[in-house]
Structure 1
């Protein structure tokens, strides 16, 4: 990880980090200057021999049980007008979950 200094992200002077992953993908992570929450991630990766850049914007953070969660996530090719947008309506932290949810289903009989 490398700190690259401040950079403007739609009017916010964000902290820019460069993250190089083991598989060679490079992500540029932009952090809000006040809370150090991710507000944008630009990832460069090789897909089917072509260099692809995906931009993800995170926002509308809400604090739930002491942890900030983004309630708005918008992602797509960098510079594209049409991006996929996810709006979270409700989030819960530290809820109990039945262990059975994580069990593999039984194989069908032959």
Structure 2
């Protein structure tokens, strides 16, 4: 089935109204990032993508639009998404690709 793909802000798509640190965790290996996100009923589950530089890691949700002619939108969802970095996060900052804002997180 064909679908449209659009980027989405991780801060705007974090589950719950308050994008607090409980939604994003960096594992003890300092490379695995897990984030709980929500999506609408006309989307497929998004993909969590990390864009790495020497100074920052920017997170992005790859949104896949499931709407179209003769396609009904089902319920959305909430799930934990994971991305593994090529290099440890520290001392780099964790940001949102689209807004440039810092993404709050905890270390597991």
Whether TM exceeds 0.5 here: the answer is no
Q: Max radius of gyration: which structure?
A: 1
Structure with the higher strand share, 1 or 2? 1
TM-score under structure 1 length normalisation: 0.27
The structure whose RCO (Cα within 8 Å, separation 6+) is larger is: 2
TM-score under structure 2 length normalisation: 0.28
